[in-house]
Structure 1
Amino acid sequence: MTENKTTSSLHYDSLVVQGAPARQNEYGAIMPPIFLSTTYRFEDLDHQGTYEYVRTQNPTREKAERLIARLEDARYAFGFSSGMAALATIFEHFKPGDHIISSANIYGGTYRFFSDLFTKNQIAYNFKQDLNALTDADFKENTRAVYIETPSNPTLRVTDIAKVVALAHRHHALVICDNTFMTSYLQRPLALGADIVAYSATKYFGGHADLCAGFIALNDPSLAEEFYFFQNTLGATLSPFDSYTLIRGTKTLALRLDRQQENAKAVIAALQNDPAIDEVYFPGSSNAVEHEIQARQARGNGSVISFRVTEEVDLKRFFNQLQMIDLAVSLGGVESIICRPATSTHEPYPQAEREKLGVDNQLVRFAVGIENKADIIADLQQALARSRS
């Protein structure tokens, strides 16, 4: 486990480039070497070297972990083979009899973890429709954490992180925040008081749909020791090659997100004027309260939006008519990607629960890429026009 002891005065868009300092690389290499060795020679029978085995430590993974820690302004960061592996490691902290509060509107894979694995492990949980309405009465003696995903997936509802933190800490509960949609470029949960931030780094940090990765960042040393033990014991660590790929991809994070946000604003405006669209969802769009929260705790809205098409739109035909935009899950890459959450990312939810959250068969999630915004809009508009009955 490596502690980040470096603070930086660099702006974030410089830090993503310089955050894994070339001056610390072997032989003066500008890009870090990839250490693929699975095992390392002991100095002698009684002394191992700095590195022993790839699952326990790896020089390339440590560089990626230091980079994420610096971007989060965190003391510790841990790299995993997926975002779900990162969350599973966090959830290992909880024991039978514990209780967790979570937003009802979360990624389907996380919902599956709650509904299947927490139940099996006798960990109680409550889903709350709106964490902004959280009160002291929601906490029990055995409440150990509040889990936040903000903006939520896929309806982009916004939760006031600082408010939840104040309530949770009053009841000695941790606050865990999935910050995948925002990244630390746009939102800093740790600075707002959250105890643990989690990422599917497959998305914006990687940025090119060519790696699977997850991260945990935090400041508490005792929790960090625990997570390091779980990381090593469970073994779902980030590979050396993916660690290198993540460092490379992260260098363009600020540039990509700036372009993607610019494109997303243009797409929102176009869709809001399209007769085939009932409603467009983005962070802060649901109500004035959430709009104010998003403006206060984040420096942008990201580039994931959702929209509900009218009943006269045949969604199967709509997806088939798209010429440039791909029908696929995931988000955060340079390509524009579109999906129907009800039958993909949120399929683990029972239908009644999905519909209560507004995730029905007419809802579409769109991860806006870096292509020319006119081309993105034109592709959406022609497909919508051709799919209306």
Structure 2
Amino acid sequence: MKFNTQLIHGGISIDSETGAVSVPIHMASTFKQAKIGEAKYEYSRSGNPTREAVENLIAELEHGTAGFAFASGSAAISTVFSMFSSGDHIIVGNDVYGGTFRLIDNVLKRMGLTFTIVDTRDLSAIEQSIQDNTVAIYLETPTNPLLRISDISAIASLAHRANLLSIVDNTFASPYIQKPIDLGVDIVVHSASKYLGGHSDLIAGLVVTKAEEISDKIKFLQNAIGAILAPQESWLLQRGMKTLGLRMRSHQSNAQIIFEYLNKQEKVGKIYFPGDPNNPDFALAKKQMNGFGAMISFELKPGLNPESFIDKLKVITLAESLGALESLIEIPAIMTHGAIPRDIRIAHGIQDELIRLSVGVEDIEDLIEDLEQSFNQLNY
């Protein structure tokens, strides 16, 4: 079954009882048991038919063994890190979502986990960071917000040689663009609020595992910690995923045109976009990804105020999050990555002037006109 067909017919897509082509929302906390210990569903924290449908779907789309749905992307990431114990060491990419940095710096370190931050594009830096107590490598690719591309296959191979788990946050790409498990990764995580949901109407996280042993661990932790996705949100997420292919084609088409426009805009100093032929990661992105995505970050030239630029936009929406139908724009330094201390943020390349744009599916002429009128009002 091809990917776009799988989006619609994959997982559990039809209700076996009624034949309904939309899976029912099972708003039940508990389930009647015919005999003790023989019920498929007992309590919705442990398992719910609506949640199971979306979990099966993401497992199929990512070519994994099992999928798990959580109340948020942060809940999914936190549950994955809960596999590890005090004293364990984890290598983490230096360009990650600010919320992930906050979790690591303010919560996980306090619980005894240790971390080394590296540029995961540098395989030698990863290898040199491996310690006797290292248990995993965690990275985003493309990264948030600088859209850097790491070699997933090479990192997964390095991890396996060192007997480490490899974990990839695939939020920015989605399985439409890349499937890290096919490239050797052990665990994939998503903030499903983004491209998978696609409509800015739910908060959700997903985890997909490659091996049954890891699946068993995540399943135990999902039930033990309890940060599960509720039935209503599970249904919304599956509905959103059905149109992922349609949306991604439009997202990427618009993003390419906007990149070309920004590349000619004299008030833009630097652009971060995997599809830029001058980007040092371009060749790897072309090899590893089925398209370049729809996220573009850019810096205005010195002396231009990013807040003034954003304030004048009329169609593009100032908001955190990404991957939605509507185009969303933000300033990472004071919004999504505000939790990262400025000296660390600057050292990792996230400048105060950086703007992150999630390109939506509006008419491209309206988006270009909106950018143009804002640039025209922007003065040194």
Q: What TM-score do you get using the length of structure 1 for normalisation? A: 0.94
Q: For 2:236 and 2:229, how far apart are their aligned partners in 1?
A: 11
Aligned twin of 1:326: 317
Aligned twin of 2:287: 296
* Shift in CA distance, 275/328, structure 1 to aligned 2, threshold 3 Å: same
> Deviation at 1:286?
8.8
**8 Å CA contact retained: 2:273, 2:296:** yes
**8 Å CA contact retained: 2:327, 2:357:** yes
* Secondary structure at the counterpart of residue 120 of structure 1: coil
Amino acid at match of 1:336: S
> Deviation at 1:61?
0.4
Gaps of 5+ in 1: 1-9
Q: For 1:351 and 1:108, how far apart are their aligned partners in 2?
A: 12
Amino acid at match of 1:102: V
Residue 90 in structure 1 maps to residue 80 in structure 2: yes
Amino acid at match of 1:200: S
Aligned twin of 2:166: 175
**8 Å CA contact retained: 2:12, 2:54:** no
Deviation string 1:78-115 (CA, Å, 9 cap, x unpaired) is 00010010001100011111111111110001111111
* Secondary structure at the counterpart of residue 180 of structure 2: coil
Q: For 1:256 and 1:14, how far apart are their aligned partners in 2?
A: 14
Residue among 70, 73, 92 paired with 2:63: 73
> Deviation at 1:12?
0.7
Q: Where do 1:55-66 residues align within 5 Å?
A: 55-66=45-56
* Shift in CA distance, 189/47, structure 1 to aligned 2, threshold 3 Å: closer
Q: Where do 1:171-320 residues align within 5 Å?
A: 171-283=162-274, 285=276, 289-320=280-311
Residue among 348, 366, 372 paired with 2:357: 366
Q: Where do 1:35-50 residues align within 5 Å?
A: 35-44=26-35, 46-47=36-37, 49-50=39-40
Aligned twin of 1:143: 134
* Shift in CA distance, 288/249, structure 1 to aligned 2, threshold 3 Å: closer
> Deviation at 1:138?
2.3
**8 Å CA contact retained: 1:65, 1:78:** yes
Residue 108 in structure 1 maps to residue 98 in structure 2: yes
Name the Cα RMSD after superposition.
1.5
> Deviation at 1:316?
2.4
Residue among 154, 171, 175 paired with 2:145: 154
Residue 353 in structure 1 maps to residue 339 in structure 2: no
* Secondary structure at the counterpart of residue 190 of structure 1: helix
**8 Å CA contact retained: 1:313, 1:384:** no
* Shift in CA distance, 299/341, structure 1 to aligned 2, threshold 3 Å: same
**8 Å CA contact retained: 2:12, 2:56:** no
> Deviation at 1:63?
0.5
Q: For 1:54 and 1:28, how far apart are their aligned partners in 2?
A: 23
Between stretches 153-162 and 217-226, larger displacement belongs to 217-226
Q: For 2:313 and 2:301, how far apart are their aligned partners in 1?
A: 17
* Secondary structure at the counterpart of residue 183 of structure 2: coil
Q: For 2:177 and 2:133, how far apart are their aligned partners in 1?
A: 33
Q: For 1:88 and 1:130, how far apart are their aligned partners in 2?
A: 21
Gaps of 5+ in 2: none
* Secondary structure at the counterpart of residue 13 of structure 1: helix
Q: For 2:354 and 2:361, how far apart are their aligned partners in 1?
A: 23
> Deviation at 1:321?
0.8
Residue 30 in structure 1 maps to residue 21 in structure 2: yes
Aligned twin of 1:117: 107
Q: For 1:254 and 1:115, how far apart are their aligned partners in 2?
A: 36
> Deviation at 1:25?
3.6
Q: For 2:111 and 2:37, how far apart are their aligned partners in 1?
A: 39
**8 Å CA contact retained: 1:20, 1:247:** no
Amino acid at match of 1:265: Q
**8 Å CA contact retained: 1:158, 1:284:** no
Aligned twin of 2:366: 375
> Deviation at 1:155?
0.6
**8 Å CA contact retained: 1:284, 1:292:** no
* Shift in CA distance, 354/22, structure 1 to aligned 2, threshold 3 Å: closer
Q: For 2:118 and 2:152, how far apart are their aligned partners in 1?
A: 15
Aligned twin of 1:5: none
* Secondary structure at the counterpart of residue 220 of structure 2: helix
Residue among 116, 121, 137 paired with 1:126: 116
Q: For 2:183 and 2:15, how far apart are their aligned partners in 1?
A: 31
Amino acid at match of 1:36: M
Q: For 1:287 and 1:316, how far apart are their aligned partners in 2?
A: 27
Deviation string 1:177-226 (CA, Å, 9 cap, x unpaired) is 00000011110100000000000000011000001110000121121111
Q: For 2:328 and 2:244, how far apart are their aligned partners in 1?
A: 17
Deviation string 1:36-95 (CA, Å, 9 cap, x unpaired) is 011112224x34522111111100000010111111111100000100100011000111
Residue among 5, 13, 27 paired with 2:4: 13
Once the two structures are aligned, what percentage of the paired residues are identical? 37
> Deviation at 1:21?
4.7
Aligned twin of 1:387: 378
Q: For 1:284 and 1:122, how far apart are their aligned partners in 2?
A: 40
